[in-house]
Structure formats: structure tokens, C-alpha cells
Structure 1
């Protein structure tokens, strides 16, 4: 797969809110999990409380719409669902798929 065909992640963060470290941490989490399966992870400075994460132009998280920020496991699941829905994320998947005791 060429670099042009690999998924592109864009994290837009508010500079006024000083969310650069949060955006960088999320980028690191995605790169640690997906590694060379990603074509790029881009951080884009913005203003006005913006915090969005898109994958291949699909909006996977928007702070105002989704109510805050995703935890690392949730973010990885959302990105996985766009780029490779059959991929097993190991512990990140098991944490959110608890069985119903009923």
C-alpha cells in the first residue's frame, strides 16, 4: 500500500484552550497502535474551543457534539472502525465489550 492510500488522521485543537498536549497525546496513542498502517497524523491549530478528529475525511470525534474528549481506547476503536473494522485491538476491545450478567 502506498503512502497516498494509507489513512490520514487530522486532529484539530484549540490553541486558546491550550489543547496541544492533549492532541499530541492522542496522536501518539494512534501512532503507537496503528504504526505504519497510517499514512500521516496531522495536528492543526484552531480557535474557539474546537477539538475534532477525522480519519480519511470522516469526522470520528467532535468535542461539542460528542461531549468532551474520548479516552484512548474509544478513540482507537473509532479510528479502527473507519480504516479496518475487522482489526482486533486486544485489550482496548475487551474493555468495552463486557458481557451482560443477565
Structure 2
């Protein structure tokens, strides 16, 4: 099996039951970056981990950042690395890193 580039990994804590949060995050990213991402992998972990990695680079770490990423913020971070000239539409308008009505805030 060959790896498709760029490869994005979402490592989530199985002890914390964050699979649904990780899956929802993956769905959001795959919907936004339909042809820009080669692969999105969900990686089971332990110890409160929730990390988003693009190749060897950690884009978001729950422990380092003190919480979970807002979807628009995460999309901007990824876009800046894989498609810098691309517009994200409404996600570009929320420079504070918050999105009202975020479903990811309700789980976990």
C-alpha cells in the first residue's frame, strides 16, 4: 500500500473517548480540503492526547495549546501549509479563532 501525500494524522485518546471528536474533525477537514489532502488517518492513543499532524509537523496539540482547536483555526493552519493561496470562505473571516455554533465544543 502506498501513502498519499500530504498525510494528515489525528491522534486521539481512547481512554478519554475522543474518537467522535477526531472523526468529526477529520470529516470537517476532508470536506474542506477535498483534493488537497492525500490521506487522513485516525490514530488511537492514550494519556489525554489530541494531536493533529501534517507529515512530521505537529499542527495542533491539545496539551501544548491548552484545549481543542476550533475548526476554522485548524483549517487556516492546514491551508497555510498545503494551499496558501486558497480562500476558506467564511472560515477566513473569523480571525479570533472561534466559530459560533461549533459542534465540536459539545462533545467530550
> Which range, TM-score by smaller chain?
0.7 to 0.9
The aligned counterpart of 1:100 is none
The aligned counterpart of 2:53 is 54
Is the CA contact (8 Å cut-off) linking 2:4 and 2:39 kept in structure 1?
Answer: no
| TM superposition shift of 1:5 | 6.1
Structure 2 regions of 5+ residues with no counterpart?
97-108
Deviates more, 1:84-93 or 1:27-36: 84-93
Question: Going by fraction, where is helix more abundant, 1 or 2?
Answer: 1
Give, in whole Å, the separation in 1 of the partners of 2:4 and 2:29.
17
TM-score by length of 1: 0.86
| TM superposition shift of 1:4 | 5.3
Structure 1 regions of 5+ residues with no counterpart?
98-102
The structure having more radius of gyration, on CA atoms, is 1
The aligned counterpart of 1:23 is 22
Moved over 6 A (4+): none
TM-score by length of 2: 0.82
